Structure 1
Amino acid sequence: MKRRRTDSLHSEVTGGPLVTVSRSSFWLEDGSVVLQAESTQFKVHRTILSRHSSVFKDMFAIVRPSESEPSVEGCPLVHLSDSAQDVTYLLEALYDQTCTSRRVLPFPVVAAMLRLGTKYDFNALREEALLRLRSEFPSSLEEWEVLPSNYTHIQDHDGILFDIINLALEQGIGSILPMAYYLCIQDFDDILNGIPREDGTTARIPPEVQRTCILGREKILVAQAENTLSWLDNDYISLTCSEREVCKATCASLVRWVYKPQAHPGRSLEKWSQLSKGPLCPMCTVDGKETHETGRRAMWDMMPVYFGLPPWEELKDLDR
């Protein structure tokens, strides 16, 4: 399967006007079909497309080449309404198996795999894209707890969080939205003003998502005080506290640390070990940790609801 270099040419469309198009690097000498996306053509194999996509399989089974149909170099021409870049990423995934390696993929590649994988039923590509997205934004607290601070399956870039949110909304992947929104609300300025990119553009979320995040942030701050951090309500934590002055001083210090100059929604899911500061007596430590972890679990369970979404189990079932 030898590829020709990318160049410009006049299409050899039978029975139609000459149109200048760009020939992509996917121009295989033994290809049997030409795909055209925007002004770029790709000469590839019908058998490869049919093997991986039920949509292309059915289309090729119904449509038979004829002299009256457009063709290029004797191959039928199929026009696609997708971007040329997305089609390039799709073909790279099919032919070069870029998606099956464990290496980190750029977001546009993952987006193309999901978008075209869904549209044309390239099921393996779609599932791989979903796996990567769900790995970054899990739907269980246990998975969230062990998640690294950096992206591990999708290449990071300025504004990637907003790009992922917009893709999830476009493709109906609701299960990743709660934690994507949760990360989004950690920086209030970004919600309002967007995230500048190196190319001069700004990543933004739609106004309705801004509203969802702002309202969700306020709900989480209230719930955080009532659940995860409720053990800070009193001067000391346990009724059987054995070091009241010590524990009172520690709790006062923690209140200042947590709430000054203002509360931060990121405390909602922090572990006890991340939050506890200063000495506490054994009973306050036990009772505080139990209250903290119970509240933390309750906040996780309610996370979708804070953002106006269905509960976790329903969200998973609703993924298109």
Structure 2
Amino acid sequence: MDEPRLKRRRTDDSGATRTPVTRSAEYWFDDGNIILQVESTQFRLTKSMLSMHSSVFRDMFMVPLPPDEPTIENCPVVVLSDTAQDWIHLLGAMYPKFFLEVARPPTVELIAGILRLSKKYDIPLFREDCFHRLRMQFPSTLAEYDSISGRTLLKEEPHMLIPLVSLAREFDQISILPLIFYSIVVTESDKYMFKVMNDLDLSFRPADRLACLQGYVRLLDLQSLISMSWIDKDNGYIPARSCPRYQACLMALKDIIYNMSRGQRPEIFILGQWIAEWEVGLCDACRSKARKIFEDARQACWNELPGVFGLPAWEDLKSLDFE
């Protein structure tokens, strides 16, 4: 791992700092014995806390300071080439204000900031926690995907989906890419497909942009051929062979198809849950047959999801993940 650049506070010929700095209102502790200057913000912290989490700082603090080292309030100053906002995110994790903060899921910006610093300064526990959170939000099995339905593990703001692609690649979390791509395509699909095609944000690689565009078409094909195949009367699935009232169930199927065409489900629905309204008018045999076909198709679509976006199979993706 490359050693991060740690610099002592520098002054110009007049002794004044080159840029005006301000003290952090939240992370300036009276008992602190080290000051970190990041951009124009200074944080007064304790060496023991930094050393407990980071091997880089622990090794740094073992080196004696020169006797003429400039200080502020008897604290040495270390200048870091990071962003102040990333350090605010990291210090929020080091000095939490909430216990078991389940109701306040982290943002993508917070996860990204902590990942950047935990990699640079070797903070393994925070890095592993971030990876775990990402893999929970974007799992690699359908059972895990269903288990988080309705739960918010990460504030997945729509405008942060594209930066999540870059984040996954930067930190080698390749197995989360299929669901991120899927989310880009199905979340307000018209708006985001327009963004995918026209956004000039260089952080979204052309190859990833193309994967979304091609994936959109492939998802529509999968949906018609597999996940919603049970509603195609030409397939002969519904009415079922054991149906005791063929004509009634055939009419019910036509009503279901008509209602779907009126926009009662999203355009792309390959991973969606069964909707109770689809059972209206069907006999028990047809209802059971339809649900079985639908659930088997969901699993088949899940298995195909990585390939939809030009990625390897799920097991191969997981083997590419770091840690």
Is TM (by shorter chain) over 0.5? yes
> How far apart are residue 87 of structure 1 and its match?
0.6
CA contact (8 A) 2:193 2:213 kept: no
Letter matched to residue 182 of structure 1: Y
**Ranges in structure 2 where 5+ consecutive residues have no aligned partner:** 1-7
Q: Which residue of 1 aligns with 2:32?
A: 31
- 3-state SS of paired residue (2:233): coil
- Using the aligned pairs only, state the percent identity: 34
For residues 131-161 of structure 1, what are the alpha-carbon distances to aligned partners after superposition, in whole Å with 9 as ceiling and x for unaligned? 3333332322223224344x62334656243
Deviation at 1:268, TM superposition (A): 0.7
User: Number of paired residues?
Assistant: 301
Please report how far the alpha carbon of residue 116 of structure 1 lies from its aligned counterpart in structure 2 after TM superposition. 1.6
Q: 1:153 to 1:264 in 2, by over 3 A?
A: closer
Secondary structure, aligned partner of 1:268: coil
- Superposition pairs of residues 145-160 of structure 1, within 5 angstroms: 145-149=146-150, 152-155=152-155, 157=157, 159-160=159-160
Indicate the residue corresponding to 1:310 in structure 2.
312
TM-score by length of 1: 0.79
Matched, 1:278 2:280: yes
- Counting only pairs closer than 5 Å after superposition, residues 224-235 of structure 1 correspond to structure 2 as 224-235=223-234
Deviation at 1:88, TM superposition (A): 1.6
Task: Tell me which amino acid in the other structure corresponds to 1:301.
Answer: N
SS in 1 for 2:268: helix
Aligned to 2:4: none
Q: Give the letter aligned to residue 255 of structure 2.
A: S
**Residue 179 of structure 1, CA deviation:** 1.7
Code of the aligned partner of 1:239: R
Aligned mates of 1:48, 1:103 — CA distance in 2? 26
Matched with 2:183 is 183
For residues 98 and 128 of structure 1, what CA distance do their matches in structure 2 show? Answer: 17
Q: Deviations over 1:71-104 (max 9, x none)?
A: 4444333222211011122112212365853341
What value does the CA root-mean-square deviation take over the aligned residues?
3.3
Name the counterpart of 1:112.
113
Q: 1:288 — aligned with what?
A: 290
Counterpart for residue 199 of structure 1 = none
Q: Structure 1 residues 316, 55: closer, same or farther in 2, change over 3 A?
A: farther
Q: Flag the 1:77–1:172 CA change in 2: closer, same or farther, 3 A.
A: same
1-structure distance, mates of 2:130, 2:66? 37
Q: 1:228–1:268: 8 Å Cα contact kept in structure 2?
A: yes
Q: Distance in 1 between matches of 2:79 and 2:173?
A: 27
Task: Answer whether contact 2:219 2:268 (CA < 8 A) is retained.
Answer: no
- The alignment status of 1:59 with 2:57, answered yes or no, reads no
Contact kept? 2:115, 2:127, Cα under 8 Å: yes
Report the more deviating stretch, 125-134 or 186-195.
186-195
Task: Report the secondary structure of 1:266's partner residue.
Answer: coil
Unpaired stretches in structure 1, ≥5 consecutive residues: 1-10, 196-201
3-state DSSP of counterpart to 1:34: strand
SS of structure 1 residue aligned to 2:270: helix
What is the CA distance between 1:234 and its match in structure 2?
2.7
- Structure 2-normalised TM-score? 0.79
> Shift in Å at residue 13 of structure 1?
5.0
Query: Which letter maps to 2:273?
Result: K
Partner of 2:122: 121
Q: Do residues 297 (structure 1) and 299 (structure 2) align?
A: yes
Q: CA deviation at 1:207?
A: 4.4
Asked if the contact 2:105–2:152 (Cα under 8 Å) also holds between the matched residues in 1, the reply is no
